[in-house]
């Protein structure tokens, strides 16, 4: 026997709505942990051109939701908290399509191809693409990273002692 158990069988519409609510609730919590990180970082007034605050915020965008997801999953024992990474993947995909549709002009990413446009917008801290008014790191990397961190922490929080 393979141990696979189909969890979709025999659920009522109310059960499915409840699961959808909990999924969205955990996704919102992951985003709120990221908002807390951004607020704390903003209160410290970092230099916008410095690399170190951006690297610290990137690390905190993963670890703060991971710790929060661990605590919440430990208390609620809700299996849906470990599937929040799907929200991160969807958000990343939507933002990727949005960035690819943005026009490039004179500036930092004038002759960029699709892959270079995405890389420089989301992941290149030193030489960004100049697209999304410089918010590509937050929208395309930190938000999905917070969802992945939350799901990772929730998975550990759900593990049996």
Residue 65 lies in a domain: yes
Q: What is the pLDDT of residue 139?
A: 84
Return the higher-pLDDT residue of 135 and 90: 90
Helical axes 85-101 vs 143-158, angle rounded to 10°: 170
The candidate with the shortest Cα–Cα distance to 64, out of 27, 34, 23, is: 34
Residue 5 confidence (pLDDT) above 60? no
Tell me if 3 is assigned to some domain. Answer: no
Asked, for residue 92, whether it belongs to a domain, the answer is: yes
Tell me whether residue 63 is in a domain: yes
**Would you tell me how many other CB atoms lie within 10 Å of the CB of residue 24?**
13
Asked if 104 and 131 touch (Cβ cutoff 8 Å), the reply is yes
Question: With 60 as the cut, is the pLDDT of residue 145 above it?
Answer: yes
pTM: 0.84
Backbone angles phi, psi at 102, to 5 degrees: -70, 135
26-30, 62-66, 75-79: least confident range? 75-79
C-alpha 55/C-alpha 80 separation (Å) is 30
Distance CA 54, CA 31 (A): 18
Measured at the CA of 26, the angle between CA 135 and CA 153, to 5 degrees, comes to 85
Is 8 inside a domain boundary?
no
What range defines the domain where residue 89 resides? Answer: 13-158
Is the model's pLDDT at 41 over the cut of 80?
yes
Q: Judge whether 87 lies within some domain.
A: yes
What pLDDT is attached to residue 1?
38
Is 120 part of any domain?
Answer: yes
Q: Is residue 139 part of a domain?
A: yes
Domain count, the chain: 1
pLDDT of residue 134: 74
- Asked if residues 157 and 69 have their Cβ atoms less than 8 Å apart, the reply is yes
- Average of per-residue pLDDT across 137-159: 91
Mean pLDDT of the chain: 86
155: nearest Cα among 65, 83, 62, 64:
83
**Tokens read off for 61:** 């965008």
């Amino acid at each position: 026997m393979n141990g696979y158990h189909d969890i979709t069988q025999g659920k009522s519409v109310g059960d499915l709505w409840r699961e959808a609510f909990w999924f969205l609730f955990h996704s919102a919590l992951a985003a709120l942990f990221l908002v807390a990180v951004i607020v704390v970082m903003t209160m410290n007034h970092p230099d916008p051109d410095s690399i170190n605050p951006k690297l610290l915020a990137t690390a905190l965008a993963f670890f703060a939701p991971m710790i929060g997801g661990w605590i919440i999953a430990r208390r609620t024992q809700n299996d849906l908290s470990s599937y929040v990474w799907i929200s991160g993947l969807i958000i990343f995909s939507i933002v990727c399509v949005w960035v690819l549709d943005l026009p490039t002009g004179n500036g930092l990413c004038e002759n960029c191809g699709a892959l270079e446009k995405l890389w420089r917008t989301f992941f290149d801290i030193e030489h960004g693409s100049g697209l999304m008014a410089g918010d590509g790191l937050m929208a395309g990397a930190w938000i999905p990273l917070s969802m992945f961190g939350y799901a990772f922490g929730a998975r550990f929080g759900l593990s049996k002692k």
